[in-house]
Every structure is written in structure tokens, then in C-alpha cells.
Amino acid sequence: MVILGQRMMNRRAFLMAGAASSLANALFPAGADAEALNYDALALLRQVGLAEETSEVMSTASYLMDVLGPRLSGSPGWRKSADWVVQKLKGWGIGNAGLEAWPNDPTGSNNGFPRGWANEKFYFASISPNAFPIAGMSIAWTPGTKGLVSGECVVIGEMEDSELRRAFSGKLRGKWVLGQAPIEMRAEWDPLARRLSQADLDLLETPARPTENGSPPVASPATPSGPIGQQLINRNAFYYEQGALGVISTNKGHGTVNVTGGGRGDGSDTLLPRIAIEAEHYGRIARSVMQGQPVVIEADIRNAWYDNPEMFNIVAEIPGREQPDEVVIIGGHFDSFHAATGATDNGGNCAALMEALRLLTLTKAPLKRTVRLCLWNGEEQGLIGSRLYVAQHFGGVRGAPTPGYDRGEVVPIKRAHSRFQAYFNLDNGAGSIRGVHNQGNKAIVPVFRQWMEPLRDLGVSAVSQRISKATDHASFDDAGLPGFQFIQDPLDYEPTTHHTNMDFYEALQPEDMRRNSVILASFAMMAANHSGFLPRQSRS
């Protein structure tokens, strides 16, 4: 029944093609460049992709998040989900989908992942003086408890290491360490979710003015005087030496907790269980202890380790009909953290990227150049998967984690570098696409404005003059390749879902997901059919 139903949906989608020309004439203005923009094809993409009955993006997202679950880099969950994506893409007729292994690392560090990790059980609860479950999760790449354990809590405030040793030597055995004061939370006066207003988009398009005469200088952020990360590692080693059960931390509050990862090797930060919990629970426990009332926590946490896990990126493509060696890539990171299912960071966007490739295949969109989908591994740990991919295929990356090259070296340019058209990345939450950052490439602005005109009614209008970093397009941009990040409505990405225990399927907006799929497919097609190579910035 499922297969038959899908065939009927596909047949209905193709029947819609007959109305595409009239729809294109109604939606898009006359007099546009017919060579660059195929309005009939654009109309068919939106006709299939925007309709709830023919879109598959939410079904794909649900399976990824609800059935398969979190995708921590190097974990069995990542590989299980990646295998499913490959089979899903092949089922859509994209026959060359597969997993592309990271290059072998002769240093023995497995490209930064000497050990994989997964949480298999998490039980954490107060049992005295009041019994209640504690919401939280192990920080990735930290050990479990080796069975059921219990102990009192000790609150350690800010103090110098020497004072810490004087005050707590011999007093931490069998204790849980709370290493910070309770958080003072403000009420949530402002709406959590929001759309970008026209004023917001205008500010992105308008370059910031330089400091004017008489204006106070802009202060630079203060640089911490000491290595904070090293201090944490040293303190964990001290707690371990003293026989503590584990270290408890907190952050956001209002029912959310930010859970990321510790070190992935065998350093002292992996000696003890480290648990992040909700600020409300943390505050209750810490304040009780500070009132002189002992609090006993019981825990049974099982975390599994995997030495030298196989590391891959997911790659699939639709070959170009005229210049197949010239490539447009759309992508985003597939890995997530483990406290939730990684819907807004970045599973929902991966589902939209997959759907974009399905739409291009289903509608038989004309593509002169090859359109490739890349879903990256290891983005959360420093854009590792995309940087390795760019170094392998194109070269030009500075300071890449590339086997055989020091971090300061530039990987030699490869022939494919000159045949590369563009990379478009989606990784700013689950909101609707509103524009694109031009990465300082002013020559490409008129091209983007032309491409956005037929998408303006979907909310796409802004070409930001700003340079965006911190996600996978930076790997391409740093190599001198045209790499761009889309602007998205923030919704409640911050402070609610980004890296938190609240990042589930429910945070996705179906209309935004369908729009994004169509916009991604449209950008990919227009880039693939552009009359020449897109302008690049000169390399310094």
C-alpha cells in the first residue's frame, strides 16, 4: 500500500507539469533572462514541493528524528541514520548515493575521533531528603557510573586552585561535585520565537558604518587571563584523585539544558562522569546544600566507547547533462548532539536538503552542471568532515585537519577547484530561508538578486553584506571557493532548541520546511544552469 500510494503521488506530481507554464506566467514577471532562469522548471518545483500531499519533507524528518534518533559524530546512531539516508535517496532514484570515508589519518588520531561514544542508559535522581527525578544528560565522551551509585552533593564556588585543594582535600570521596553557584534566571519577558522583520533584513543588507568622529571606540571583548578549559581539566583530575562520583553543571534554565561534549581522547577530562542538568533542579539542590541540608543523588549511567570509529560524509548527486565535471553542492551537517534528536540542529535542514534533491529528480529539472548533496560529519567538533572533503577534492584549505599537512600549510589546489560552481549551506535552525550571506563577495550580489526575484513571495529577499562563519560553508570559503550560508528566521533556536534537550521534531514548522526544500532546489538549479562560473573573491 505504501509503495502504491507513493506511485500515485508521483504520477499526480507529473500530471501537474502541464499547468506549469501558466503558473510560471502568473507568478514570475516577464522580461527576465530566459537563459539564466527556467521559469517553467521553477514553477514545477514549487508546485510539487509546496503541496502538503506531494511533499515528503516532514515524513523524512519524522523518520530521522523520531525513529532513528540522535546522530552524535562517531556513534552507532550516526552510522545507522546515515545508512538509512543512503537507502532513502536510492529509493528516490538517486542511484549514486553513498558514504564517503574520511581519509586515513597516519597520526593515529582518526582525524580527531580516536574514540566514539554513545549514552545507553541515564538514570539520575534525588533520593534524600526529597525524592524527585533530575532532568539532564551525560556530557559526550565522558564515562558512566559503573553501576548504581549514590552520594551527597558538595557545592564548590569560585576559588583559586590552591584554595580548592586546602578546602576540599580528603572531603570529596563518594560525593557529587557541583562546581558553580545556582543561576539567577530572568523571567522570559520577550517572545521566544520570532521571524525576521523587514527592518532586520534591511540591517543585514546595509553595511555597518565605520566609527565616526566623536563616537566612543568600540571595546574589544576581554580575553580571559587563564586557560579556562585547562582549569576545568585540572579540576576534574583533582576531583578524580579525591574519589568524587562525578561533576554536575548547568546552564540555560526554563526547562532546557545545553548538552554538548567533552574531550574525545583519553585526557583527564574523561576520568569522571560529567552531567549537565536543568538550572531549576541544579538550583534546588545547590541551595538546599547551602542551607545546610544534605542532598543525596542516586545515579546509574551507562556510556559506551568505540575505538577508532569509521567516519564518513554522506554524498549523493544528480549528474549534469552538459558539464558534469562542474559541480554545485548543497549541504549541511548531519551530526547532532545526544540530549534530544537534533531536529533544528540540523536534522530538519538535512531533511529539506534531501527533499530538494528529490524534487529535482522527480520533476526532471534541467541541470547543465552536476548537483551534489553533502551531509557532513563532525561539524560540531570543528567542521572536520567538510574541511577534509574540501581538502581532498579541491585543495586550497588553510590549516585544514588534513592528513600529511601541518595545520599552517595550504593544501595544493586541485583541478576540480577551477570547475567548482558554488556551495550552499543550511544550518541556522529550522526557520524559513529569508536570504543569503554574500561572504563579502560583492560581485555575486546582482546574481543572487535575480535568483531571488522568483522566490520573493516565499519570503526570500535579502543579500546580507556580512561574512558568516562557524558552519560548513566556511570550509569552502576558506579555500577560495564560493561558499554561502542561507539566512533563516530564528524562531526559538536560541534559547530553546540549540544544543538542548528540547531539540525535537515538534520544533519544526511544516510550511517552513516545504518552502526551504523548494528554495534549495531552485537555488541549486539556477546555479547549475548559470551561463558562466559565478564570481569568486580574489585570494589573499
**Residues 439, 496 within the same domain:** yes
pLDDT at 342 over 90: yes
Q: Are 176 and 246 a contacting pair, CB within 8 Å?
A: yes
pLDDT at 218 over 60: no
Number of helices (H), then strands (E), in the chain: 14, 16
What confidence category does residue 222 fall into, taking pLDDT thresholds of 50, 70 and 90? very low
| Cα separations in angstroms, 284 against 248, 268, 281, 291 | 13, 29, 5, 11
Mean pLDDT of 242-256: 94
Its domain, for residue 467, covers 7-24+32-112+309-529
Name the domain count of the chain: 2
**Residue 186 confidence (pLDDT):** 86
**Residues 108, 125 within the same domain:** no
**Residue 398 confidence (pLDDT):** 79
pLDDT at 241 over 70: yes
**Residues 139, 248 within the same domain:** yes
**Residues 124, 99 within the same domain:** no
- Would 210 be classed as within a structural domain? no
pLDDT in tens, 389-404: 999 999 998 776 778 7
How open is the CA angle 461-328-201, to the nearest 5 degrees? 15
What confidence category does residue 258 fall into, taking pLDDT thresholds of 50, 70 and 90? very high
Cis omega (within 30 of 0) on the bond before 221? no
Question: Nine-digit cell at 501?
Answer: 534537550
- Would 193 be classed as within a structural domain? no
pLDDT in tens, 152-175: 999 998 889 999 999 999 999 999
| Cα separations in angstroms, 356 against 57, 69, 97, 126, 359 | 9, 22, 14, 47, 5
**Residues 108, 133 within the same domain:** no
What confidence category does residue 229 fall into, taking pLDDT thresholds of 50, 70 and 90? very low
- Would 248 be classed as within a structural domain? yes
| Whole-angstrom distance, CA of residue 493 vs CA of residue 502 | 10
- Would 195 be classed as within a structural domain? no
CATH of the domain at 230: 3.50.30.30
pLDDT in tens, 407-466: 778 899 999 999 999 999 999 999 999 999 999 999 999 999 999 999 999 999 999 988
Residue at 521: amino acid letter: A
CATH of the domain at 83: 3.40.630.10
- Would 292 be classed as within a structural domain? yes
**Residue 293 confidence (pLDDT):** 98
Give the sign of the dihedral formed by CA 433, CA 203, CA 443, CA 459: positive
Lookup result for grid cell 533544528: 344
**Residues 275, 323 within the same domain:** no
| Whole-angstrom distance, CA of residue 173 vs CA of residue 169 | 9
Q: Are 138 and 144 a contacting pair, CB within 8 Å?
A: yes
Q: Quick count: other Cβ atoms within 10 Å of Cβ 243?
A: 13
Task: Give the relative orientation of helices 445-452 and 510-529 as an angle to the nearest 10 degrees.
Answer: 130
Task: Give the relative orientation of helices 228-241 and 161-168 as an angle to the nearest 10 degrees.
Answer: 20
- Would 349 be classed as within a structural domain? yes
pLDDT at 19 over 70: no
Mean pLDDT of 23-44: 68
**Residues 269, 416 within the same domain:** no
Percent of the chain with pLDDT over 90: 78
Side by side, which strands form the sheet with 312-318?
Answer: 98-101, 312-318, 369-376, 323-333, 420-425, 483-488, 433-437, 462-464
**Residues 298, 356 within the same domain:** no
**Residues 400, 444 within the same domain:** yes
**Residues 496, 436 within the same domain:** yes
pLDDT at 227 over 50: no
pLDDT in tens, 465-496: 889 999 999 999 999 999 999 999 999 999 99
**Residues 525, 459 within the same domain:** yes
Beta strand residue intervals within 139-289, DSSP E: 149-155, 176-178, 246-249, 274-277
Mean pLDDT of 272-293: 97
Looking at every residue in the chain, the average pLDDT score rounds to 90
What confidence category does residue 32 fall into, taking pLDDT thresholds of 50, 70 and 90? very low
**Residues 269, 398 within the same domain:** no
Task: Give the relative orientation of helices 510-529 and 39-49 as an angle to the nearest 10 degrees.
Answer: 160
Q: Please list, in sequence order, all residues whose beta carbon lies within 8 angstroms of the beta carbon of residue 408, skipping any fewer than 6 positions away.
A: 398, 399
Question: Residue 196 gets which letter from DSSP?
Answer: P
**Residue 89 confidence (pLDDT):** 98
What confidence category does residue 190 fall into, taking pLDDT thresholds of 50, 70 and 90? confident
Lookup result for grid cell 587571563: 225
Beta strand residue intervals within 386-429, DSSP E: 420-425
pLDDT at 282 over 70: yes
